[in-house]
């Protein structure tokens, strides 16, 4: 247990040191959340790179990777003259915020408890992620993914993280996902707090925490919640870049999208909404370099894995194949209204009716968040302009979701998809941008509350 | 200044603000109540089964875990094991899933030709009509439908 806590502290320290390189002003909530997500991903990526020089997966390699990562970060820090600031700037919270904080903490602990108590049992978690993690750990080689687990071209952020946690026993392995869940909540709340959404922000964070589908994914070993963490954080910091034009946030967002590519094979597809809106921003501000800068860090994560899959485990490229297929679909799109209508109907059922509007049944529900988002959007239609960038990203995310399924439908697998995988995977992909929808809703409400407060205080 | 400020708060805006507050409170209460109810239900379920062993927890999921455990107990770690094809047997034929529990054994799909290409020790899974071809060697049965054949071809 002590060793586990030590490893956890090492990951946080690595992540926080890395985050500090971007010179962004972040609340301690965000710093903790990012420290976990970034620290773990850098550690797994460093371990993966070590396999290129023939290093096997063992304690000594892990220690070596940790030290190399740390020394590199410290070297860059020294070069850029960035001081290490481990101080936590704590503002005294109010009673309602403390109460909400305790409830959120209890939800986080419940997730952790469930993760520890229940073994890895869901089908994909065992076959896709668990088998690879266990094979890397047991056989001491990252190359084991070639023979163990299904879909060898899925990136290895989660399997290597699982292999790392296997040192402490199987119950600890699933805690990775509960910590991601807590990290999602911390970054979500910390960012809302930065925009002055104190009470409403903590209420929104609680709503996110108890959303059945989000909570469920924090207790099973699927890579969708980690991907949601990276994508949500990337959009939030890209939005922050649009606010203050601090390139540190742009780079942070880019790194997070890059790590998304290192977490899920479809990570690259989710780069496009961000990149499209960033390009519009860059054109309006005449900052031509920004979209190119944004692509740089992504390639750092994208290229080694592409080389590894193509030349070492000799399988198809995970990103290029699927992305090219989708782009081809876009140009040769044969609009079939029946398919389009079916997706729309399905989307409507998922967000308004199925396990949502009437009653939350089972674990597939989004609760009441989607109807809430659309009602707030309609009521604040006059303020959409202020949030045009964020809303554009959300709109493009929904379009990407539609496009993925429309593309698949055109591949002739329509009936199979509808019958088997549609329901589960549609929701799992929606999970990537679901927190951003709630984030936008809370921003709109907080804006109005602040305005009314200022009117009330002026009236007095 | 004060007059200007209060002008900003027109009646439709007041109505909208009140409406938003009502929606927010209602959604917050309903959503949190439903979510907490669900989480508590799962928590109670876990607490009730806190003393269960790993095997009991896996058995509860309804997979073919017991059969995989049987295979693990009856084969050496360096075994080559021939499984039924996944197309016809989607559960038992899912090698990705099976490998998690049978690591580091080598698992294969295939027919008689594949069987002959494998180096010893070789085992063939018996499951609902599989294998449909003749396999020589002693049988270890778990039940009437599931078992293993330790493949030992006659010289």
Please determine, for residue A408, whether its predicted confidence score (pLDDT) is greater than 90.
Answer: no
CB contact under 8 A, B103 and A134: yes
Across the interface, of A134, A207, A360, the residue whose CB is closest to B38 is A360
Query: Are both B40 and B93 inside the same structural domain?
Result: no
Taking every pair of C-alpha atoms in chain B, what is the biggest distance, in angstroms?
A: 104
d(CA A65, CA A110): 33
Residues B10 and B78 in one domain: no
**Which of A118, A139, A454 faces B104 most closely, judged by CB atoms?**
A139
In this complex, do A367 and B20 lie within 8 Å of one another by their Cβ atoms?
no
- pLDDT tens, position by position, B39-95: 999 899 999 988 888 888 888 877 788 999 999 999 999 999 999 988 888 888 888
Report the run of H or E that residue A326 belongs to, with start and end: helix A318-331
- Give the model's pLDDT for residue B155: 61
Q: Which of B6, B39, B103 sits opposite A138 (nearest CB)?
A: B103
- Mean pLDDT of the region A170-198: 91
Q: Residue range A24-39: average pLDDT? A: 92
CA distance A274 to A282: 12
Across the interface, whether the CB atoms of A121 and B104 are under 8 A apart is answered: no
Calpha distance A434→A449 (Å, rounded):
23
Angstrom distance (rounded) from CA A280 to CA A367:
34
Name the strands in the sheet holding B80-83, side by side, starting at the edge strand that comes first in the sequence: B106-109, B80-83, B122-127, B146-151, B139-141
Which residue does chain B place closest to A455, by CA atoms? B5
Distance CA B99, CA B122 (A): 16
Structure tokens at A59: 């304690």
Q: Cβ of B38 and A215 within 8 Å? A: yes
User: Do the Cβ atoms of A15 and A37 come closer than 8 Å?
Assistant: yes
Please give the helix or strand (H or E) that residue A369 lies within, else none: helix A369-379
Q: Do B27 and B67 lie in a common domain? A: no
Split at pLDDT 50, 70, 90, the class of A31 is: very high
Report yes or no for ipTM above 0.90: no
In terms of C-beta density within 10 A (0-12 exposed, 13-18 middle, 19 or more buried), how is residue A174 classed? buried
As to burial, measured by CB atoms within 10 angstroms (0-12 exposed, 13-18 middle, 19+ buried), residue A156 is buried
* B43 and B67 housed in the same domain: no
In a domain, B56, yes or no: no
Residue of A nearest to B17 (CA): A448
Q: How far apart are CA A402 and CA A341, in angstroms?
A: 11
Over chain A, what is the mean pLDDT?
85
Q: Which residues of B touch A359 (CB under 8 A)?
A: 34
pLDDT for the residue numbered A435: 96
Predicted confidence (pLDDT) at residue A277 exceeds the cutoff of 80: yes
Q: How many CB atoms lie within 10 A of CB A37?
A: 26
Identify the residue among A204, A212, A216, A361 best suited for mutation to test binding to B, counting B beta carbons within 10 A and taking the highest.
A212
In this prediction, residue A392 carries a pLDDT of: 96
Q: Burial level of A16, CB count in 10 A (0-12/13-18/19+)? A: buried
B140, B70: one domain: yes
Q: Measured between alpha carbons, how far is A124 from A114 in angstroms, rounded to an integer?
A: 18
The arithmetic mean of pLDDT across residues A339-364, rounded, is: 63
pLDDT category of residue A332 using cuts at 50, 70 and 90: low
Contacts of B3 in chain A (CB under 8 A): none
Q: What is the pLDDT of residues B20-44, one digit of tens each?
A: 999 999 999 999 998 898 899 989 9
Residue A443 makes CB contacts below 8 A (sequence gap 6+) with A192, A195, A197, A387, A390
Do B44 and B74 lie in one domain? The reply is no
Give the span between the Cα atoms of A189 and A400, in whole angstroms: 26
Pairing of strands B122-127, B106-109: unpaired
The answer to whether residue B25 is domain-embedded is yes
- The partner residue sitting opposite A130, judged by closest CB among B1, B20, B100, is B100
Which pLDDT score is estimated for A324?
Answer: 66
Query: Is the same domain home to B40 and B74?
Result: no
Tokens encoding B154:
């006659």
Residue A123: closest CA among chain B residues belongs to which residue?
B97
Q: Does B39 touch chain A (CB under 8 A)?
A: yes
Task: State percent of chain A over pLDDT 70.
Answer: 87
* pLDDT tops 50 at residue A356: no
Taking an 8 Å cut-off on Cβ atoms, the answer to whether B100 and A110 are in contact is no
The structure's pTM equals 0.92
Give CA–CA dist A58/A78, Å, rounded: 30
Tell the residue number behind the tokens 């597809």, with chain if given.
A269
pLDDT digits (tens, 9 = 90+) for A227-271: 999 999 999 999 999 999 999 999 999 999 999 999 988 888 889
Least CB–CB distance from A367: residue in B31, B100, B103:
B31
Q: Are A356 and A346 in contact (CB under 8 A)?
A: no
Burial readout A408-446 (b: 16 or more C-beta within 10 A, e: otherwise): bbbeeebeebbeeebbebbbbbbbbbbbbbbbbbbbbbb
Range of the domain at B15: 2-48
- Long-range contacts, A396-399 (Cβ 8 Å, 24+): A396/A272, A396/A273, A396/A276, A396/A277, A397/A270, A397/A273, A397/A432, A397/A433, A397/A436, A398/A433, A399/A273
Cβ pair A257, A234 in contact under 8 A: yes
Residue A143 and residue A51 in contact, taking contact as beta carbons nearer than 8 Å: yes
Residue B139 has pLDDT above 50, yes or no: yes
Query: What is the distance between the alpha carbons of residues A187 and A435, in angstroms, rounded to a whole number?
Result: 11
Give the distance from residue B30's alpha carbon to the nearest chain A alpha carbon, in angstroms.
Answer: 8
Residue B19 lies in a domain: yes
Q: Is the pLDDT of residue A357 over 60?
A: no
Strands B122-127 and B146-151: antiparallel
A443: which chain B residues are within 8 Å (Cβ-Cβ)? none
Domain match, B99 and B42 both: no
Q: What is the mean pLDDT of residues A72-100?
A: 80
For residue B126, what are its two tokens? 């018996």
List all residues 6 or more positions away from B108 whose beta carbon is below 8 Å from its beta carbon: B80, B81, B82, B83, B95, B114, B118
Domain match, B8 and B83 both: no
Alpha helices in A166-288 (DSSP H): 170-173, 175-194, 198-209, 212-217, 224-244, 247-261, 271-285
Contact call for B43 and A113, based on CB within 8 A: yes
Collect all residues of chain A within an 8 Å Cβ-Cβ radius of residue B50. 117
Counting every residue written for chain A, the total comes to 460
Instruction: Tell me if chain A has a CB within 8 Å of the CB of B35.
Output: yes
Judgement on whether residues B94 and B39 belong to the same structural domain of the protein: no
Chain B CB contacts of A200 under 8 Å are 24
> Which of A372, A373, A421, A438 is the best mutation test for B, with the most CBs of B within 10 A?
A372
Q: Do B103 and A131 touch (CB under 8 A)?
A: yes
Band (pLDDT 50/70/90 cuts) for residue B1 is: very low
Within-domain flag for B131: yes
Residue A144 DSSP class: G
CB-closest option in B5, B94, B96 to A459:
B5
Q: Encode pLDDT of B110-130 as tens digits.
A: 778 888 888 888 899 998 888
Write down the pLDDT at residue B133: 85
Instruction: Report yes or no on B58 lying in a domain.
Output: no
Nearest by CB: B35 against A147, A150, A212: A212
**Maximum Cα–Cα distance across chain A:** 72
Residues B44 and B72 in one domain: no
Give the span between the Cα atoms of A167 and A138, in whole angstroms.
Answer: 10
pLDDT of A329: 64
In a domain, B57, yes or no: no
- Same domain, yes or no: B29 and B92: no
Chain A's closest residue to B91, CA to CA, is A123
Question: Of the given ranges (A4-8, A58-62, A91-95), which has the lowest mean pLDDT?
Answer: A91-95
Domain count, chain B: 2
Cα nearest neighbour of B3 on chain A: A459
| Contact call for B5 and A454, based on CB within 8 A | yes
- Residue A354 pLDDT: 56
Q: DSSP letter string over chain B?
A: -HHHHHHHS-HHHHHHHHHHHHHHHHHHHHHHHHHHHHHHHHHHHHHHTTT--HHHHHHHTTSSHHHHHHHHHHS-TT-EEEE--TTT-TTTT-HHHHHHHHTTSEEEE--HHHHHHSPSSEEEEEETTB--S---S-EEESSSSEEEEEE----
CB A376 within 8 A of CB A441: yes
DSSP A238: H
Residue A460's pLDDT band, with cuts at 50, 70 and 90, is low
């Amino acid at each position: 247990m002590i060793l586990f806590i030590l490893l956890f502290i090492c990951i946080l320290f690595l992540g926080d040191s890395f985050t500090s390189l971007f010179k962004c002003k972040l609340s301690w909530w965000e710093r903790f959340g990012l420290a976990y997500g970034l620290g773990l991903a850098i550690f797994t990526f460093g371990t993966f790179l070590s396999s290129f020089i023939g290093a096997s997966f063992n304690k000594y390699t892990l220690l070596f990777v940790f030290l190399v990562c740390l020394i590199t970060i410290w070297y860059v820090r020294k070069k850029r003259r960035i001081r290490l600031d481990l101080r936590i700037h704590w503002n005294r919270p109010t009673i309602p915020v403390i109460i909400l904080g305790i409830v959120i903490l209890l939800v986080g602990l419940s997730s952790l408890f469930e993760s520890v108590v229940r073994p890895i049992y869901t089908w994909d978690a065992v076959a896709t992620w668990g088998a690879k993690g266990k094979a890397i750990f047991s056989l001491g080689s990252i190359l084991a993914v070639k023979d163990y687990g299904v879909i060898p071209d899925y990136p290895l952020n989660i399997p290597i993280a699982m292999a790392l946690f296997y040192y402490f026993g199987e119950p600890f392995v699933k805690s990775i996902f509960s910590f991601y869940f807590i990290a999602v909540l911390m970054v979500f709340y910390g960012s809302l707090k930065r925009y002055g959404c104190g009470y409403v922000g903590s209420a929104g964070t609680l709503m996110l925490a108890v959303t059945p589908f989000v909570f469920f994914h924090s207790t099973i070993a699927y890579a969708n919640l980690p991907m949601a963490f990276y994508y949500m954080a990337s959009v939030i910091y890209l939005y922050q870049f649009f606010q203050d034009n601090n390139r540190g946030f742009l780079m942070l967002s880019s790194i997070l999208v890059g790590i998304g590519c290192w977490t899920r094979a479809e990570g690259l597809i989710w780069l496009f909404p961000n990149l499209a809106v960033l390009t519009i921003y860059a054109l309006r501000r005449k900052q031509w370099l920004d979209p190119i800068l944004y692509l740089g860090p992504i390639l750092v994560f994208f290229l080694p894995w592409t080389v590894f899959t193509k030349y070492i485990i000799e399988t198809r490229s995970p990103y290029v194949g699927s992305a090219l297929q989708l782009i081809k679909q876009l140009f040769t799109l044969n609009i079939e209204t029946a398919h389009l209508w079916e997706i729309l109907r399905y989307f409507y059922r998922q967000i308004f009716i199925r396990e949502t509007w009437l009653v939350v049944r089972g674990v597939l529900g989004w609760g009441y968040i989607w109807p809430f988002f659309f009602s707030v959007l309609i009521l604040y239609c006059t303020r959409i302009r202020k949030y045009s960038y964020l809303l554009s990203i959300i709109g493009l995310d929904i379009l990407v979701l539609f496009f993925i399924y429309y593309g698949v439908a055109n591949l002739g697998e329509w009936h199979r998809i509808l019958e088997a995988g549609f329901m589960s995977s549609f929701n799992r992909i929606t999970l990537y941008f679901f927190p951003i929808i709630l984030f936008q809703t809370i921003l709109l409400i907080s804006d109005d509350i602040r305005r009314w407060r200022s009117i009330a205080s002026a009236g007095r | 200044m004060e007059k200007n400020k209060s002008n900003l708060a027109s009646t439709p805006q007041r109505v909208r603000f009140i409406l938003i507050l009502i929606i927010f409170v209602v959604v917050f209460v309903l959503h949190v109540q439903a979510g907490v109810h669900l989480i508590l239900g799962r928590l109670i379920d876990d607490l009730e089964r806190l003393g269960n062993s790993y095997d009991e927890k896996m058995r509860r999921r309804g997979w073919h875990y017991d059969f995989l455990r049987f295979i693990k107990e009856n084969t050496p770690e360096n075994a080559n094991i021939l499984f039924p094809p996944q197309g016809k047997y989607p559960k038992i034929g899912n090698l990705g899933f099976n490998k998690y529990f049978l690591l580091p054994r080598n698992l294969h799909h295939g027919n008689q030709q594949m069987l002959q290409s494998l180096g010893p020790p070789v085992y063939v899974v018996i499951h609902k009509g599989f294998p449909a071809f003749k396999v020589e060697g002693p049988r270890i049965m778990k039940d009437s439908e599931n078992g293993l054949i330790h493949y030992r071809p006659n010289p």
